[in-house]
Amino acid sequence: MNKQNKLLHFANIPTVRLTLVHLAIIMTLSITFSVVLYKTSTRPMSPPPRQGWESNLPTQNNRPERYLDDNARLVVEEYLQQRKHELLIRLIWINLGVLFVGIIISYVLARWSLRPIEEAMDSQIQFVSDASHELRTPLTVLQTTNEVASRKKKLPISEARELIAHNVDEVKKLKNLTEMLLGLLKDDKKPVEFTDVNLQDIVSDAMSSVVEIAQAKNISIEDTVPKLKIKTDYSSLVQIISILLDNAVKYSDKGQQITISADKTDNKIYLHVADGGIGIRASDLPHIFNRFYRADKSRSKASGVQGYGLGLAIAQKLAKQIDTRITVKSETDKGSTFTAEILR
């Protein structure tokens, strides 16, 4: 952050506004209190009577008639004026002190209350910018290939077919991406319904969603999950396991094997999706659940893997909603094991 940016950060308009609002409240209270204190302390008082007045304390029917002489009265009045003046000066100083401390407190309070809002806004901006970036790539490819084709004087039918097939592929990618983006936003508000379900059913539903891509790569999936009753949201857990299986297939080489297994403790079930694929570097592991994060792009690209870095972010979000935790152990070139810790 350069100097100007730092200044803008500290003096951004919402912070200044909120600081002023807090300060106005503090100063209104302080000044009101000071005025009341001044008024009550300097209310005109009846002058004290002469010596021996104790025996002549004013009562309803017996008012003292003898008071101080004029000189004494002047001295007393002067003394009172002086005390009034001193009180005024003291209150002004106190209010200046309150103003000074108030500015600091108001600023700290303003920053404290605005920080979560700013963080949420920054994350939204980041999300929109990442999403736009991901959308731009297939759109640019579409635009370029179509422009090149349209400039050709003659376009043989075979080439046109190829172009259309390529366009359809790119549109599919775009559709896939927009569906994932919507999924990521929608899942925030998606109601979850905990019911008693059989884990085996969930696993076979999830497996059916990846069977095609697994067959295309000649990858076999070994399912050793026993019959286990759990209380969870059926569709969320199916989606989580589908994402883990989909990744396992994507990041495995042709002909490899994936295993899905489960074990249980008193209050938890651990569901493991293990592959012998390309694995994840230790430096990438803390980031793979972040939106749009793709570990080691060069290796993924080399194995021709498509993706947007959204799958695990969606899985993580769904997992949180159903009290499930996803952990991962991985070694490069040896494979990865993703584990879903499900509360029973």
| Interface with ligand ADP, residue 276, by CB under 6 A | no
Among positions 278, 318, 319, 340, the unique one binding ligand ADP when judged by CB under 6 A: 278
d(CA 197, CA 202): 8
Tell me the CB-side half-sphere exposure of residue 74, using CA atoms within 13 A: 3
| Interface with ligand ADP, residue 248, by CB under 6 A | yes
Among positions 310, 318, 322, 340, the unique one binding ligand ADP when judged by CB under 6 A: 310
d(CA 115, CA 100): 23
Stretch that binds ligand ADP, among 37-45, 73-81, 94-102, 276-284 (CB under 6 A): 276-284
| Interface with ligand ADP, residue 233, by CB under 6 A | no
Nearer CB in complex with ligand ADP: 91/180: 180
Among positions 102, 138, 276, 309, the unique one binding ligand ADP when judged by CB under 6 A: 309
Q: How far is the CB of 330 from ligand ADP (least distance, A)?
A: 7
Q: How far is the CB of 301 from ligand ADP (least distance, A)?
A: 10
Q: How far is the CB of 226 from ligand ADP (least distance, A)?
A: 23
Is the separation of the CB atoms in 258 and 252 below 8 Å?
yes
Place of tokens 């695990």: 312
Nearer CB in complex with ligand ADP: 262/295: 295
Residue number with the shortest CB distance to ligand ADP? Answer: 307
| Interface with ligand ADP, residue 251, by CB under 6 A | yes
CA-closest candidate to residue 328, choices 243, 234, 218: 243
Binding map of ligand ADP across residues 191-230, x = CB under 6 A, - = no contact: ----------------------------------------
| Interface with ligand ADP, residue 239, by CB under 6 A | no
